[in-house]
Amino acid sequence: MVEKKQLNRHVYWNPYFGGFVLGLLIILTFYLTGRGLGASGALKSGVVTVVHTVAPTHAENNVYYSKFIKEGESPMNNWLVFEAIGVLLGAFLSGAFTGRLKLKVQHSPKITSRRRLVFALIGGVLFGIGAQVARGCTSGAALSGMAVLSTGGFITMLAIFGTGYAVAYFFRKNWI
Amino acid sequence: MKELEKTKRISISAVLFLLIVTIAILTFEKPENVFEKNTEATLQEIVSNNYILTLSELDSKESSQYQLIDIRSNFEYTKGHINDAINISTHDILESGNIELFDELVESNKIAILYGEDPNDANRAWMLLYQLGYENAKILCVETNYIDNKFQVSNHALEKPAVNYAQVMQLAKSAPTETKKAVTKPKKPKKVITLPKKKKRVPEGGC
Amino acid sequence: MSKKYKLKRLLVRRYQILAAILFILAAGLVLLPKYKKNEGIAPDQFVKNIISSERYISTDLLADRLVNQDPTVLLIDTRSEQEFNDYALPNAINIPLKDLLNEDFDGYINQDVYDIILYSNENFYADQAWIISSRLGYTNLYVLKGGLNEWFDTIINPKLPDETMPQEAFDLYSFRKAAGMYFGVGMVKSEVKKVTKSKPVKKVVTIKKKKKRVPEGGC
Amino acid sequence: MGPLIPNGIIPEDWNYIIAILIGFAFGYILEASGFSSSRKLAGVFYGYDFAVLKVFFTSAVVAVIGLYYMDYLNWVDISQLFVQPTYLWAAIIGGMIMGVGFLAGGFCPGTSLCAVAIGKIDGIVFTLGLTIGIFIFSESFSALEPLFESSNLGNITLVDSLGISPYWIIFIFTIIALVAFYFSDWVRSKVKKVFY
């Protein structure tokens, strides 16, 4: 038990240090580009691209897709897509340095991998819908929004975490 | 010991952050002159037109109420100027002595009346002063010139069309001059102007 | 021993120290003396801009560019709508001075594709429009020197030079005369009405602007 | 004066290169802080690991303080920075859906990408779920549009909503964050440890 505790503590950065560096990165991002960080926007671009390639007329008729389709320009040609590529590279490198690269399913010992994956899928679907409705996910709306004191950012953050605490009880078996 | 290293890392970075901010604040100089009025307010004042004085309006004021300011160059000023006017060329308005003078005028409730070669000339100085927050500045709507080397001031009709343009054009059209050769150029294609977005683009979506 | 002890004490306190640093920084923001921010460029730069006469374009030069159908020229009439409807230079767009900062027109004055030439009856209003735009840092703006009055004096009704004048004066005169014809002098056929021209053009820009912002909202 | 790219100080062409570099740093920081582990992320809701809260609040506080100092020093113009438009009900309902999604899936989009990068299968499945979610949303957009477009308050900030000086907001926000840190450590000492 003691050994495991040691592991817990030393694998990752001190959260305050991580937060501090992340804060500096947000400042740099705003300073350079005038916009914040984001993540789910890249996936949206991916979805739009796929739908547009598979069923072009359908995509153009849909009000939501058509917002992101520009004449002669791929929806993938987007700031956030490039940023997401960077995220993948950066996380991969960090994982490689600390020896965390491993194909596995992480879950509480009380549940099976299968159950974990099913819940991950459900959570992903919900998060995908929610991020579209709120026009931003935790990084885009809440984190970057809070850095510029955006009202929407604070509301989104409060809604996510408030609901999170409210429903935490029902999902306790998955995590504890 | 590992714990110690971590402490160093975070403490050092935090202290550095504090240091950078402190140094930046200490070395920071406030801009000396700052525009008080934004462009929106200035535009409203411009449209209101009550910053323009004519010669007769000037005569009706007592001389203790205003200070005439010649905003032309010193060279022009020495050649001739309105009596009692002092010389501050547009170029020198921001100099501290002159700014103080305008401050004094505000304090003593005097109007700073600007004039130059023509109202257009005075307008530049006026717009500068107004945006700096000197609401007591006015433009004297005059032209100055020299007749037989004598300094002359005359009223200027501001933005008045010299002729009735439409009428003149009508007349000019119907009275053909000389040959009418290459003039058969009746319908110009309608110019459709599509402006690409300005370079200063608005930063877009976060997430 | 004492060194190690000190370090240990520091270790115990480290989060308090970090919290204190954050607190000081945040309090610093509240306590710093506030000053008013400039909108647009700083006054010293502003003075340099307004003194420079680079912004003026002569009527002859403008006529030359219009005759040659220079595609980069865009004329903007800063007079009132009524005056504009009475008479305006060919292909001009009407932005009355009072609407200069109206968002609909932002696409016109804040751009870097066209050489925008502002004019009014004289150059008083046009100059004011220019000065305001220059404070906001807009570029590629010019003022027609002398405005329409000068335009009519030189292009529409050029004065015949005296015989004593040099050849250049006569060349200029003949150029003006020809240009005058181009702009309608001695033309019997009625010219295209300009009044309706500005309307469709305006729409192009506003639509573009709106389209640009909306799609990025979603995540 | 910043922001550099919108003001044309750095040419637009660099935008995507900068995007990759910033993304790289973002991914690295997230992964190194442990955000690629869903159990660590979920810990914030059960009191056994407050890394999310600490990272989140520290970065927000540092960023907002830093940005306002830069604004004060005239290095960056706060008013030119992009502020997410506030659609009140869309933000609340979207946030609630995301909250449930967070608890069920254990990731948010940014962290799931990190998890994908280091080979977490649950992360890959979550990302798959995200794309399906976006697809579902887009397909049913006409039904959700009233919610999506309603109660638009524009690109407002807390300064507009509360009507007090941004500096005071930051100050209060910092204090809330510090109290939250203290509180989280207190809670953690009370809660049964969970090891992962």
**Per-residue pLDDT reduced to its tens digit, D130-147:** 999 988 988 888 888 888
User: B54 lies in a domain?
Assistant: yes
Mean pLDDT of C88-112: 81
Whose CA is closest to B54, among B153, B142, B146? B142
Cα–Cα distance for residue pair A8/D171, rounded to 1 Å: 33
Average pLDDT over residues D167-175: 90
pLDDT of residue A125: 92
CB contact under 8 A, B204 and A136: no
The residues pairing with C117 across neighbouring beta strands, listed in sequence order, are C75, C142
Q: Residue D192 above 50 pLDDT?
A: yes
Cβ–Cβ contact C30 with D under 8 A: yes
The pairs formed by B121-126 with CB atoms below 8 angstroms and a separation of 24 or more are: B121/B71, B121/B72, B121/B90, B122/B71, B123/C124, B123/C127, B123/C128, B123/C131, B124/B71, B124/B90, B124/C50, B124/C51, B124/C127, B124/C131, B125/B69, B125/B71, B125/B88, B125/B90, B125/B93, B126/B51
Please, which pLDDT band fits residue C186 given cuts at 50, 70 and 90? low
Test the C interface: residue of D62, D81, D174 with most C CBs within 10 Å: D174
List chain B residues with CB under 8 Å of C180. 172
Does B205 contact A17 at a Cβ distance shorter than 8 Å? no
Which of A 47-106 lie inside 8 A of B, CB atoms?
Answer: 79-80
Contact A43 D134 (CB under 8 A): yes
What pLDDT is stored for residue D175 in this prediction?
92
How close A107 gets to chain C, by Cα (Å)?
A: 28
Closest Cα in chain B, distance from residue A154 (Å): 14
Full residue range of the structural domain in which residue B65 is found: 39-155
Which residue of A lies nearest to D80 if distances are taken between CA atoms?
Answer: A34
Parts of chain A with a pLDDT under 70: 1-10, 71-72
Q: Which residue of D has its CA nearest to C38?
A: D74
pLDDT value at B166 more than 60: yes
Query: Does the beta-carbon distance from A141 to D91 stay under 8 Å?
Result: yes
What does the pLDDT read at residue D41?
Answer: 85
B4 and chain A in contact, CB less than 8 A: no
Query: Which residues of chain C from 174 to 193 reach within 8 Å of chain B, CB to CB?
Result: 177, 180-182, 184-192
Q: What percent of chain D has pLDDT over 70?
A: 97
Greatest mean pLDDT among A100-104, B3-7, B162-166, C58-62: C58-62
Question: Does residue C112 belong to the interface with chain B, where contact is any CB pair within 8 Å?
Answer: yes
Q: Looking at the complex, report in whole angstroms how far the Cα of residue C36 sits from the nearest Cα belonging to chain D.
A: 10
Which residue range is the domain that position C170 belongs to?
43-197
Angle between helical axes of C2-31 and B2-27 (0-180°, round to 10): 40
Task: Supply the mean pLDDT for chain C.
Answer: 75
B2 touches chain C (CB under 8 A): no
The CA angle B12-B16-B19, to the nearest 5 degrees, is: 140
C-alpha pair distances (Å), B79 with each of B73, B74, B82, B151: 10, 9, 11, 8
Look at B46 and C1; give whichever has higher pLDDT.
B46
User: For position A10, what pLDDT does the model report?
Assistant: 47
Query: Is C1 in the B-facing interface, judged by CB distances under 8 Å?
Result: no
C208–B194: do the CB atoms touch at under 8 Å? Answer: yes
Nearest residue on chain B to C80, judged by CA atoms? B47
The arithmetic mean of pLDDT across residues D151-177, rounded, is 86
Give residue D157's pLDDT: 84
Residues of C in contact with D177 (CB under 8 A): 22
pLDDT band at C11 (very low <50, low <70, confident <90, very high): low
Q: How far is B117 from chain C (nearest CA, A)?
A: 13
- Cα A96 to its chain centre, rounded Å, is 21
One-letter identity of residue A160: I
* CATH number of the domain bearing residue B43: 3.40.250.10
Domain with residue C161: its CATH number is 3.40.250.10
Nearest neighbour of D170 by CB, restricted to C19, C29, C217: C29
Confidence at residue A80, expressed as pLDDT on a 0 to 100 scale: 85
Q: Of the candidates C15, C19, C29, which has its C-beta nearest D65's C-beta?
A: C29
Per-residue pLDDT, A144: 85
Q: C107 falls in which pLDDT band (50, 70, 90)? A: confident
Q: Which residues of A touch D151 (CB under 8 A)?
A: none
D window 59-88, beta carbon within 8 A of B: 62, 66, 69, 72-74, 80-82, 84
Closest CA to A21 of D122, D29, B127, B176: D29
CA distances B31 to B28, B35, C43, D72, D74, Å, are 9, 10, 9, 12, 10
Per-residue pLDDT at D193 exceeds 80: no
From A67, A132, A137, residue closest to C215, measured CB to CB:
A67
Q: What is the pLDDT of residues A37-87, one digit of tens each?
A: 887 888 888 888 888 888 888 888 888 888 777 766 777 778 888 888 999
What is the reported pLDDT for B6?
Answer: 56
CA distance A72 to chain D (A): 18
- What local confidence, expressed as pLDDT, does residue A4 receive? 46
Instruction: Say which range, A117-121, B147-151, D113-117, has the weakest mean pLDDT.
Output: B147-151
Q: Kindly state whether residue C204 falls inside one of the protein's structural domains.
A: no
Query: B94 Cβ partners below 8 Å, 6+ apart?
Result: B32, B33, B128, C43, C44, C47
Q: Which residue of A has its CA nearest to B14?
A: A20
The pLDDT of D13-32, averaged and rounded, is 89
Contact C219 A67 (CB under 8 A): no
What tokens were used for B8?
A: 């160093």
Pair of tokens at residue B12: 């050092």
User: Does ipTM come in above 0.85?
Assistant: no
pLDDT surpassing 60 at residue C21? yes
CB pair distance less than 8 Å for C217 and A140: no
Cα angle A127, A131, A137 (rounded to 5 degrees) comes to 100
Closest alpha carbon to C118 in B120, B188, B132, B38: B120
Nearest to D55 by CA among D76, D70, D36, D71: D36
| Closest residue, chain B, to A147 (C-alpha) | B206
CB pair distance less than 8 Å for D65 and C25: yes
pLDDT of residue C2: 64
Residues of A in contact with B9 (CB under 8 A): 14, 17
Cβ neighbors of C124 (< 8 A, separation 6 or more) are B119, B120, B123, B158, B159, C147
Do A44 and C18 lie within an 8 Å CB cutoff? no
Instruction: With respect to residue B1, please indicate whether it lies within any of the assigned structural domains.
Output: no
Task: Check C152 against B165: CB less than 8 A apart.
Answer: yes
Query: B41-97 pLDDT, tens per residue?
Result: 888 888 887 888 888 888 888 878 888 888 888 888 888 888 888 888 888 888 888
Side by side, the strands of the sheet bearing C56-57 are C56-57, C141-144, C115-119, C73-77, C93-94
CB B131 within 8 A of CB B42: yes
Taking residues C129-154, report their average pLDDT.
86
Tell me if C17 is assigned to some domain: no
Tell which wins on pLDDT, B74 or B192.
B74
In the predicted model, is pLDDT for residue C191 greater than 50? no
Number of separate domains in chain B: 1
Mean of pLDDT values over C103-123: 82
Residues C11 and B4: beta-carbon distance below 8 Å? yes
Give how far D136 is from chain B: nearest CA, Å.
Answer: 19
Nearest-by-Cβ selection for C97 from B4, B46, B205: B46
Burial D45-54 (b: 16+ CB within 10 A, else e): bbbbbbbbbb
- For B28, what's the count of Cα atoms within 13 Å in the CB-facing half-sphere? 18
Q: Quick check: D129 contacting B, CB < 8 Å? A: no
Q: Do A137 and B9 touch (CB under 8 A)?
A: no
| Chain B residue nearest residue C202, CA to CA | B193
- The whole-number pLDDT of residue B175 equals 59
Peptide bond into D109 cis (omega under 30): no
- Chains C, D: CB pairs < 8 Å: 40
Q: C185 versus B171: which is more confidently predicted? A: B171
Question: Structurally, how many domains does chain C consist of?
Answer: 1
Residue C36: CB atoms within 10 A of its CB come to 12
pLDDT at C134: 86
Residue C211 has pLDDT above 50, yes or no: no
| Mean pLDDT of the region D114-128 | 89
Whether residue C88 is predicted with pLDDT greater than 70 in this model: the reply is yes
Closest residue on chain A to C15 (Cα)? A16
Residue for token pair 């507009």: D160
- Give A41's contacts (C-beta < 8 A, 6+ positions apart): A78, A80, A81, A140, B205, B207, C218, C219
Residues from chain C that touch B46, judged by Cβ atoms under 8 A, are 97, 128, 132
Q: Which residue has the tokens 């996936």?
A: A43
